[in-house]
Amino acid sequence: MMLLARFRRTRSLRKSIRENVSIGLNFSVGENSVLWAPRSLVVGNGVKLGSNVRIEADGSIGDGVLIANSAGIVGRTDHNTSEVGMPVTETRWVGNHPSELSSPVTIGSDVWIGYGATILSGVTIGDSSVVGAGSVVTKDIPANSIAVGNPARVVGERFGDIDFELHWTQLEKSGYKRLSGGAARRTTDEVGGSGSE
């Protein structure tokens, strides 16, 4: 039975992990999920992906990240839609022109991306942040933030400053690495909202 489970896991990984992707230890992926990058996507240790997740962007994903079912991390400019006289189906595509069209994404360590959320390339989601279900992230989310909505905006913080530092002291002892810098989240005025808008 153990051999059959290992075979199914290996087959699932081969179907899910496409070109230009490297994964860390203890990676798990649900059914029908796909990871692909035009140039390079580096995935950290202990990352868990649900089913039907699509990651099609260059960049990096930190350690201990949880990405829920039906979430996507996709290119902001997968097709050059400004080409005059060309239908969008015939325009330059990021897979053939990555140096022109690809913008890397950074997902920090210890991040939870909720069900059906969409992250556009070119953004950073800070360490220990949570992105709510169905959110669309078009701008950077600072570390230790809770962000929701379309477009996503910061509505709170996951930990107070002292607990955030204690949390990271423990994670670093366990081998986790901060990917997006160590600062706790900025004030809501600095990230474009007061939470009451």
Q: What is the pLDDT of residues 25-58, one digit of tens each?
A: 999 999 999 998 988 999 999 999 999 999 999 9
State pTM to two decimals.
Answer: 0.80
- CATH number assigned to the domain comprising residue 128: 2.160.10.10
When divided into structural domains, the chain yields a total of: 1
Establish if 194 belongs to a structural domain: no
The distance in angstroms from the start CA to the end CA of the chain is 54
Q: Cis link prior to 98 (omega < 30° from 0)?
A: no
Establish if 187 belongs to a structural domain: no
Query: What residues form DSSP beta bridges with 119?
Result: 73, 137
Establish if 165 belongs to a structural domain: yes
Residue range of the domain that includes 34 = 2-173
Q: What is the pLDDT of residues 96-149, one digit of tens each?
A: 555 655 689 999 999 999 999 999 999 999 999 999 999 999 999 999 999 999
Establish if 191 belongs to a structural domain: no
Establish if 27 belongs to a structural domain: yes
